[in-house]
Amino acid sequence: MNAKLLSESGIKYAENGDVNNAIADYDKEIELNRHADDRPNWVSNLYERRGSLYLQKGEYDLALADFNKSLEISPRNYWAYSGRGEADREKGDYDAAITDFTKMLDANPRFFGEGTIDDDAVSKRAEAYSKRAETYREKGDYDSVIADLSKLLIDHRENYAWVYVRRGEAHIKKGEYDLAIADFSKALEIDSHYDWAYAGRGEAYRAKGEHGLAAADFDRAAAISPGSPYEYAARGDLHLNKGEYESAIANFTKAIALDPDYAFAYAHRGEAYRAYDKYSEDKREKAMADFDKAIELDPGYVWAYIRRGEAYDGACNDDLAIADFNKAIELNPNNSEAYARRSDIFLERGEVDLAIADMGKWIELNPDDHSAYYYRGKTYYSIILKILEIVR
Protein backbone atom coordinates (compact mmCIF):
# COMPACT_ATOMS: atom_id res chain seq x y z
CA MET A 1 0.00 0.00 0.00
CA ASN A 2 1.49 3.41 -0.93
CA ALA A 3 1.84 6.35 1.49
CA LYS A 4 -1.19 8.25 0.16
CA LEU A 5 -3.48 5.27 0.65
CA LEU A 6 -2.06 4.60 4.10
CA SER A 7 -2.76 8.21 5.09
CA GLU A 8 -6.35 7.98 3.87
CA SER A 9 -6.78 4.64 5.63
CA GLY A 10 -5.41 6.02 8.90
CA ILE A 11 -7.78 8.99 8.71
CA LYS A 12 -10.78 6.70 8.11
CA TYR A 13 -9.83 4.45 11.02
CA ALA A 14 -9.53 7.51 13.27
CA GLU A 15 -12.88 8.91 12.12
CA ASN A 16 -14.53 5.55 12.93
CA GLY A 17 -12.99 5.46 16.39
CA ASP A 18 -10.59 2.61 15.58
CA VAL A 19 -7.59 4.31 17.17
CA ASN A 20 -5.31 1.25 17.29
CA ASN A 21 -5.59 0.51 13.57
CA ALA A 22 -5.19 4.21 12.80
CA ILE A 23 -1.95 4.25 14.78
CA ALA A 24 -0.78 1.11 13.00
CA ASP A 25 -1.30 2.80 9.62
CA TYR A 26 0.54 5.92 10.74
CA ASP A 27 3.38 3.70 11.99
CA LYS A 28 3.76 2.31 8.49
CA GLU A 29 3.41 5.70 6.85
CA ILE A 30 6.02 7.29 9.10
CA GLU A 31 8.39 4.43 8.34
CA LEU A 32 7.91 5.00 4.60
CA ASN A 33 8.33 8.78 4.82
CA ARG A 34 10.71 9.43 7.72
CA HIS A 35 13.56 10.30 5.30
CA ALA A 36 11.46 12.36 2.90
CA ASP A 37 13.55 15.52 3.26
CA ASP A 38 11.70 17.16 0.39
CA ARG A 39 8.39 17.02 2.31
CA PRO A 40 9.17 18.15 5.90
CA ASN A 41 5.70 19.57 6.56
CA TRP A 42 4.08 16.32 5.45
CA VAL A 43 6.28 14.22 7.75
CA SER A 44 5.71 16.68 10.61
CA ASN A 45 1.96 16.29 10.14
CA LEU A 46 2.24 12.49 10.27
CA TYR A 47 3.90 12.64 13.69
CA GLU A 48 1.35 15.22 14.85
CA ARG A 49 -1.57 13.01 13.78
CA ARG A 50 -0.16 9.93 15.48
CA GLY A 51 0.55 12.01 18.57
CA SER A 52 -3.09 13.13 18.59
CA LEU A 53 -4.19 9.49 18.54
CA TYR A 54 -1.90 8.65 21.46
CA LEU A 55 -3.34 11.69 23.27
CA GLN A 56 -6.84 10.34 22.63
CA LYS A 57 -5.78 7.01 24.19
CA GLY A 58 -4.32 8.74 27.26
CA GLU A 59 -0.77 7.60 26.38
CA TYR A 60 0.71 11.01 27.09
CA ASP A 61 4.42 10.15 26.98
CA LEU A 62 4.08 8.60 23.52
CA ALA A 63 2.00 11.58 22.44
CA LEU A 64 4.66 14.00 23.69
CA ALA A 65 7.38 12.10 21.85
CA ASP A 66 5.48 12.42 18.57
CA PHE A 67 4.62 16.09 19.08
CA ASN A 68 8.27 16.81 19.90
CA LYS A 69 9.37 15.05 16.72
CA SER A 70 6.76 16.93 14.70
CA LEU A 71 8.04 20.27 15.99
CA GLU A 72 11.66 19.27 15.52
CA ILE A 73 10.88 18.80 11.82
CA SER A 74 8.56 21.80 11.47
CA PRO A 75 8.81 24.35 14.35
CA ARG A 76 5.68 26.19 13.17
CA ASN A 77 3.29 23.25 13.30
CA TYR A 78 0.31 24.91 15.01
CA TRP A 79 -1.52 21.65 15.78
CA ALA A 80 1.58 20.00 17.26
CA TYR A 81 1.85 22.84 19.79
CA SER A 82 -1.84 22.42 20.52
CA GLY A 83 -1.53 18.66 21.09
CA ARG A 84 1.66 18.94 23.13
CA GLY A 85 0.04 21.59 25.32
CA GLU A 86 -2.92 19.28 25.97
CA ALA A 87 -0.61 16.37 26.83
CA ASP A 88 1.39 18.59 29.19
CA ARG A 89 -1.82 19.77 30.86
CA GLU A 90 -3.08 16.21 31.31
CA LYS A 91 0.23 15.36 33.02
CA GLY A 92 -0.16 18.37 35.34
CA ASP A 93 2.71 20.35 33.77
CA TYR A 94 0.74 23.56 33.52
CA ASP A 95 3.67 25.89 32.83
CA ALA A 96 4.80 23.78 29.86
CA ALA A 97 1.21 23.67 28.58
CA ILE A 98 0.88 27.46 28.84
CA THR A 99 4.14 27.88 26.93
CA ASP A 100 2.86 25.66 24.12
CA PHE A 101 -0.52 27.35 23.91
CA THR A 102 1.32 30.69 23.71
CA LYS A 103 3.40 29.29 20.85
CA MET A 104 0.16 28.45 19.06
CA LEU A 105 -0.34 32.21 18.78
CA ASP A 106 3.20 32.66 17.46
CA ALA A 107 3.27 29.64 15.13
CA ASN A 108 1.91 31.64 12.21
CA PRO A 109 1.98 35.37 13.02
CA ARG A 110 0.08 36.44 9.91
CA PHE A 111 -3.07 34.91 11.41
CA PHE A 112 -2.99 36.81 14.68
CA GLY A 113 -3.13 40.56 14.17
CA GLU A 114 -5.59 42.32 16.49
CA GLY A 115 -8.90 43.08 14.82
CA THR A 116 -8.50 40.53 12.05
CA ILE A 117 -11.77 39.35 10.48
CA ASP A 118 -10.39 36.27 8.75
CA ASP A 119 -12.49 33.29 9.89
CA ASP A 120 -9.51 30.94 10.06
CA ALA A 121 -7.58 33.49 12.10
CA VAL A 122 -10.49 33.98 14.47
CA SER A 123 -10.91 30.23 14.92
CA LYS A 124 -7.24 29.60 15.62
CA ARG A 125 -6.90 32.56 17.96
CA ALA A 126 -10.00 31.41 19.84
CA GLU A 127 -8.61 27.90 20.27
CA ALA A 128 -5.25 29.15 21.52
CA TYR A 129 -6.69 31.62 24.02
CA SER A 130 -9.41 29.23 25.24
CA LYS A 131 -6.94 26.38 25.82
CA ARG A 132 -4.52 28.67 27.62
CA ALA A 133 -7.35 30.14 29.71
CA GLU A 134 -8.48 26.64 30.70
CA THR A 135 -4.93 25.79 31.77
CA TYR A 136 -4.68 28.97 33.84
CA ARG A 137 -8.01 27.98 35.43
CA GLU A 138 -6.70 24.55 36.41
CA LYS A 139 -3.58 26.25 37.79
CA GLY A 140 -5.73 28.64 39.85
CA ASP A 141 -4.45 31.79 38.09
CA TYR A 142 -7.81 33.52 37.62
CA ASP A 143 -6.34 36.91 36.67
CA SER A 144 -4.77 35.29 33.62
CA VAL A 145 -8.00 33.41 32.87
CA ILE A 146 -9.86 36.72 32.76
CA ALA A 147 -7.14 38.33 30.62
CA ASP A 148 -7.21 35.57 27.99
CA LEU A 149 -10.99 35.38 27.83
CA SER A 150 -11.15 39.16 27.48
CA LYS A 151 -8.85 38.88 24.43
CA LEU A 152 -11.25 36.34 22.96
CA LEU A 153 -14.05 38.89 23.21
CA ILE A 154 -12.18 41.31 20.94
CA ASP A 155 -13.74 39.47 18.01
CA HIS A 156 -17.29 40.22 19.22
CA ARG A 157 -18.56 36.94 17.85
CA GLU A 158 -22.26 36.26 18.41
CA ASN A 159 -21.60 32.71 19.59
CA TYR A 160 -19.21 33.77 22.33
CA ALA A 161 -21.76 33.60 25.15
CA TRP A 162 -19.67 30.77 26.63
CA VAL A 163 -16.70 33.15 27.00
CA TYR A 164 -18.75 35.48 29.18
CA VAL A 165 -19.81 32.47 31.27
CA ARG A 166 -16.22 31.29 31.71
CA ARG A 167 -15.07 34.78 32.61
CA GLY A 168 -17.96 35.12 35.04
CA GLU A 169 -16.87 31.89 36.73
CA ALA A 170 -13.35 33.29 37.11
CA HIS A 171 -14.74 36.49 38.66
CA ILE A 172 -16.63 34.33 41.19
CA LYS A 173 -13.37 32.58 42.13
CA LYS A 174 -11.87 36.01 42.82
CA GLY A 175 -14.87 37.13 44.85
CA GLU A 176 -15.79 39.75 42.21
CA TYR A 177 -19.48 38.97 42.27
CA ASP A 178 -20.82 42.11 40.58
CA LEU A 179 -18.45 41.61 37.63
CA ALA A 180 -19.53 37.96 37.49
CA ILE A 181 -23.21 38.90 37.43
CA ALA A 182 -22.52 41.36 34.61
CA ASP A 183 -20.80 38.66 32.54
CA PHE A 184 -23.53 36.06 33.11
CA SER A 185 -26.16 38.66 32.23
CA LYS A 186 -24.30 39.48 29.00
CA ALA A 187 -24.22 35.77 28.13
CA LEU A 188 -27.98 35.65 28.64
CA GLU A 189 -28.45 38.64 26.32
CA ILE A 190 -26.74 36.56 23.63
CA ASP A 191 -28.52 33.30 24.52
CA SER A 192 -31.56 33.57 26.77
CA HIS A 193 -31.74 29.77 27.17
CA TYR A 194 -28.17 29.31 28.41
CA ASP A 195 -28.64 27.19 31.56
CA TRP A 196 -25.02 27.55 32.72
CA ALA A 197 -25.34 31.34 32.60
CA TYR A 198 -28.41 31.24 34.86
CA ALA A 199 -26.67 28.79 37.20
CA GLY A 200 -23.50 30.89 37.34
CA ARG A 201 -25.42 34.10 37.99
CA GLY A 202 -27.38 32.28 40.67
CA GLU A 203 -24.13 31.26 42.31
CA ALA A 204 -22.90 34.88 42.27
CA TYR A 205 -26.19 36.09 43.78
CA ARG A 206 -25.94 33.35 46.43
CA ALA A 207 -22.42 34.47 47.35
CA LYS A 208 -23.70 38.05 47.75
CA GLY A 209 -26.47 36.85 50.06
CA GLU A 210 -29.22 37.70 47.57
CA HIS A 211 -30.96 34.37 48.04
CA GLY A 212 -34.22 35.25 46.31
CA LEU A 213 -32.46 36.20 43.07
CA ALA A 214 -30.21 33.14 43.38
CA ALA A 215 -33.17 30.77 43.79
CA ALA A 216 -34.93 32.32 40.78
CA ASP A 217 -31.88 31.79 38.57
CA PHE A 218 -31.35 28.22 39.77
CA ASP A 219 -35.02 27.49 39.01
CA ARG A 220 -34.62 28.92 35.49
CA ALA A 221 -31.53 26.79 34.91
CA ALA A 222 -33.32 23.67 36.15
CA ALA A 223 -36.32 24.39 33.90
CA ILE A 224 -34.03 24.59 30.86
CA SER A 225 -32.05 21.46 31.78
CA PRO A 226 -34.22 19.41 34.15
CA GLY A 227 -31.78 16.51 34.06
CA SER A 228 -28.72 18.52 35.05
CA PRO A 229 -27.15 17.46 38.37
CA TYR A 230 -25.42 20.85 38.62
CA GLU A 231 -28.68 22.72 39.04
CA TYR A 232 -29.78 20.49 41.93
CA ALA A 233 -26.35 20.80 43.53
CA ALA A 234 -26.48 24.59 43.20
CA ARG A 235 -29.90 24.69 44.84
CA GLY A 236 -28.64 22.33 47.52
CA ASP A 237 -25.75 24.67 48.23
CA LEU A 238 -28.16 27.58 48.48
CA HIS A 239 -30.25 25.72 51.07
CA LEU A 240 -27.09 24.65 52.91
CA ASN A 241 -25.93 28.26 53.28
CA LYS A 242 -29.38 29.25 54.55
CA GLY A 243 -29.30 26.49 57.18
CA GLU A 244 -32.13 24.56 55.48
CA TYR A 245 -30.40 21.22 55.84
CA GLU A 246 -33.24 18.84 54.92
CA SER A 247 -33.84 20.67 51.63
CA ALA A 248 -30.08 20.78 51.00
CA ILE A 249 -29.75 17.02 51.54
CA ALA A 250 -32.72 16.33 49.24
CA ASN A 251 -31.24 18.41 46.41
CA PHE A 252 -27.73 16.96 46.75
CA THR A 253 -29.24 13.46 46.79
CA LYS A 254 -31.07 14.24 43.54
CA ALA A 255 -27.82 15.52 42.00
CA ILE A 256 -26.04 12.30 43.00
CA ALA A 257 -28.85 10.18 41.52
CA LEU A 258 -28.30 11.98 38.20
CA ASP A 259 -24.50 11.78 38.42
CA PRO A 260 -23.16 9.13 40.85
CA ASP A 261 -19.60 10.47 40.33
CA TYR A 262 -20.36 14.07 41.36
CA ALA A 263 -17.76 14.75 44.07
CA PHE A 264 -19.11 18.24 44.85
CA ALA A 265 -22.58 16.86 45.64
CA TYR A 266 -21.19 14.18 47.99
CA ALA A 267 -18.95 16.64 49.84
CA HIS A 268 -21.67 19.22 50.33
CA ARG A 269 -24.28 16.65 51.29
CA GLY A 270 -21.77 15.45 53.87
CA GLU A 271 -21.50 18.97 55.23
CA ALA A 272 -25.29 19.24 55.35
CA TYR A 273 -25.48 16.01 57.37
CA ARG A 274 -22.72 17.25 59.70
CA ALA A 275 -24.31 20.65 60.25
CA TYR A 276 -27.84 19.21 60.61
CA ASP A 277 -27.09 17.55 63.93
CA LYS A 278 -23.48 17.50 65.12
CA TYR A 279 -24.38 15.23 68.02
CA SER A 280 -26.18 12.57 65.99
CA GLU A 281 -24.09 9.46 65.42
CA ASP A 282 -26.23 8.54 62.40
CA LYS A 283 -25.72 11.95 60.76
CA ARG A 284 -22.00 11.83 61.55
CA GLU A 285 -21.62 8.45 59.89
CA LYS A 286 -23.51 9.62 56.81
CA ALA A 287 -21.37 12.76 56.67
CA MET A 288 -18.15 10.76 56.92
CA ALA A 289 -19.31 8.35 54.21
CA ASP A 290 -20.04 11.27 51.89
CA PHE A 291 -16.70 12.98 52.59
CA ASP A 292 -14.91 9.68 51.96
CA LYS A 293 -16.74 9.24 48.65
CA ALA A 294 -16.00 12.79 47.53
CA ILE A 295 -12.29 12.32 48.22
CA GLU A 296 -12.30 8.93 46.51
CA LEU A 297 -13.77 10.57 43.40
CA ASP A 298 -11.52 13.63 43.60
CA PRO A 299 -8.32 13.02 45.62
CA GLY A 300 -7.35 16.67 45.20
CA TYR A 301 -10.55 18.07 46.73
CA VAL A 302 -9.17 20.44 49.39
CA TRP A 303 -12.57 21.57 50.70
CA ALA A 304 -13.62 17.96 51.32
CA TYR A 305 -10.46 17.23 53.33
CA ILE A 306 -11.09 20.29 55.51
CA ARG A 307 -14.72 19.37 56.14
CA ARG A 308 -13.79 15.76 56.93
CA GLY A 309 -11.08 17.03 59.24
CA GLU A 310 -13.68 19.08 61.09
CA ALA A 311 -15.88 15.99 61.34
CA TYR A 312 -12.99 13.98 62.80
CA ASP A 313 -12.31 16.82 65.24
CA GLY A 314 -15.98 16.77 66.30
CA ALA A 315 -15.64 13.03 66.91
CA CYS A 316 -12.54 13.70 69.11
CA ASN A 317 -10.25 11.97 66.63
CA ASP A 318 -7.47 14.56 66.61
CA ASP A 319 -4.87 12.54 64.73
CA LEU A 320 -7.13 11.87 61.74
CA ALA A 321 -8.30 15.48 61.79
CA ILE A 322 -4.72 16.76 61.66
CA ALA A 323 -3.93 14.28 58.88
CA ASP A 324 -6.75 15.73 56.79
CA PHE A 325 -5.70 19.32 57.46
CA ASN A 326 -2.11 18.35 56.59
CA LYS A 327 -3.34 16.89 53.30
CA ALA A 328 -5.34 20.02 52.52
CA ILE A 329 -2.23 22.16 53.11
CA GLU A 330 -0.12 19.82 50.99
CA LEU A 331 -2.60 20.20 48.13
CA ASN A 332 -2.98 23.96 48.58
CA PRO A 333 -0.39 25.65 50.82
CA ASN A 334 -2.28 28.94 50.44
CA ASN A 335 -5.51 27.74 52.06
CA SER A 336 -5.79 29.80 55.25
CA GLU A 337 -8.77 27.80 56.56
CA ALA A 338 -6.71 24.61 56.84
CA TYR A 339 -4.13 26.39 58.99
CA ALA A 340 -6.89 27.93 61.12
CA ARG A 341 -8.57 24.58 61.78
CA ARG A 342 -5.27 22.83 62.52
CA SER A 343 -4.24 25.59 64.94
CA ASP A 344 -7.43 24.91 66.96
CA ILE A 345 -6.45 21.28 67.47
CA PHE A 346 -2.83 22.10 68.31
CA LEU A 347 -4.11 24.56 70.91
CA GLU A 348 -6.50 21.98 72.40
CA ARG A 349 -3.61 19.53 72.66
CA GLY A 350 -1.41 22.08 74.39
CA GLU A 351 1.00 22.28 71.44
CA VAL A 352 1.11 26.06 71.69
CA ASP A 353 4.16 26.70 69.50
CA LEU A 354 2.61 24.77 66.62
CA ALA A 355 -0.71 26.56 67.13
CA ILE A 356 0.94 30.00 67.04
CA ALA A 357 2.91 29.05 63.91
CA ASP A 358 -0.33 28.06 62.17
CA MET A 359 -2.05 31.26 63.32
CA GLY A 360 0.86 33.23 61.87
CA LYS A 361 0.42 31.47 58.55
CA TRP A 362 -3.34 32.07 58.75
CA ILE A 363 -2.69 35.83 59.17
CA GLU A 364 -0.09 35.87 56.39
CA LEU A 365 -2.54 34.31 53.93
CA ASN A 366 -5.62 36.21 55.09
CA PRO A 367 -4.50 39.48 56.75
CA ASP A 368 -8.06 40.84 56.80
CA ASP A 369 -9.41 38.02 58.98
CA HIS A 370 -9.77 39.71 62.37
CA SER A 371 -10.51 36.44 64.15
CA ALA A 372 -6.98 35.24 63.38
CA TYR A 373 -5.48 38.19 65.26
CA TYR A 374 -7.94 37.70 68.11
CA TYR A 375 -7.08 34.03 68.64
CA ARG A 376 -3.35 34.61 68.37
CA GLY A 377 -3.58 37.50 70.82
CA LYS A 378 -5.66 35.38 73.17
CA THR A 379 -3.06 32.62 72.96
CA TYR A 380 -0.19 35.01 73.72
CA TYR A 381 -2.17 36.38 76.67
CA SER A 382 -2.70 32.90 78.12
CA ILE A 383 1.06 32.28 77.86
CA ILE A 384 1.76 35.51 79.75
CA LEU A 385 -0.69 34.54 82.50
CA LYS A 386 1.03 31.16 82.91
CA ILE A 387 4.43 32.87 83.16
CA LEU A 388 3.12 35.25 85.82
CA GLU A 389 1.72 32.31 87.80
CA ILE A 390 5.12 30.62 87.74
CA VAL A 391 6.88 33.84 88.84
CA ARG A 392 4.53 34.20 91.76
Q: What is the pLDDT of residues 374-386, one digit of tens each?
A: 888 888 878 777 7
Q: Which of 226, 249, 276 is the C-terminal boundary of a domain?
A: 226
Same domain? For 39 and 153 the reply is: yes
**142 in the same domain as 40:** yes
Structural domain contains residue 169: yes
Q: CB neighbours of 1 closer than 8 A, spacing ≥ 6? A: 9, 28
Query: Looking at residue 222, what is its pLDDT?
Result: 82
| Upper half-sphere CA count for residue 286 (Cβ side, 13 Å) | 18
Same domain, 95 and 172: no
Same domain, 39 and 143: yes
Residue 96 lies in a domain: yes
What pTM did the predictor assign? 0.67
Which residue type is seen at 212? G
**192 and 150 inside one domain:** no
**165 and 145 in one domain?**
no
Other CB atoms within a 10 A radius of the CB of residue 356 amount to 18
Domain boundary among 129, 157, 185: 157
Give yes or no: residues 118 and 177 share one domain: no
| Domain span at 390 | 335-392
Q: Are residues 143 and 68 in the same domain?
A: yes
CATH code of 101's domain = 1.25.40.10
If asked whether residues 213 and 145 sit together in one domain, one would say: no
Whole-angstrom distance, CA of residue 223 vs CA of residue 238: 17
Same domain, yes or no, for 45 and 144?
Answer: yes
pLDDT tens, per residue, the chain with 392 residues: 344 444 555 455 556 566 787 888 877 887 877 666 667 788 888 889 899 898 888 899 999 999 999 999 888 888 999 999 999 998 889 999 999 999 988 765 554 445 445 666 677 888 889 899 999 988 888 899 999 999 888 765 556 899 999 999 999 888 899 999 999 999 999 999 998 899 899 989 988 888 889 889 988 888 888 778 888 888 898 889 889 999 999 999 999 999 999 999 999 999 999 988 776 788 889 999 999 999 999 888 888 999 999 999 888 888 999 999 999 998 888 888 899 999 999 988 888 889 889 898 888 888 888 887 888 888 887 877 777 777 66
- Domain count for the chain: 3
Return the CATH number at 373. Answer: 1.25.40
Structural domain ending residue among the three candidates 187, 211, 226: 226
Q: Is residue 204 part of a domain?
A: yes
Is 257 a member of any domain?
Answer: no
**Any domain includes 316:** no
Written as one string, the DSSP assignment of 126-166 is HHHHHHHHHHHHHHT-HHHHHHHHHHHGGG--TTTHHHHHH
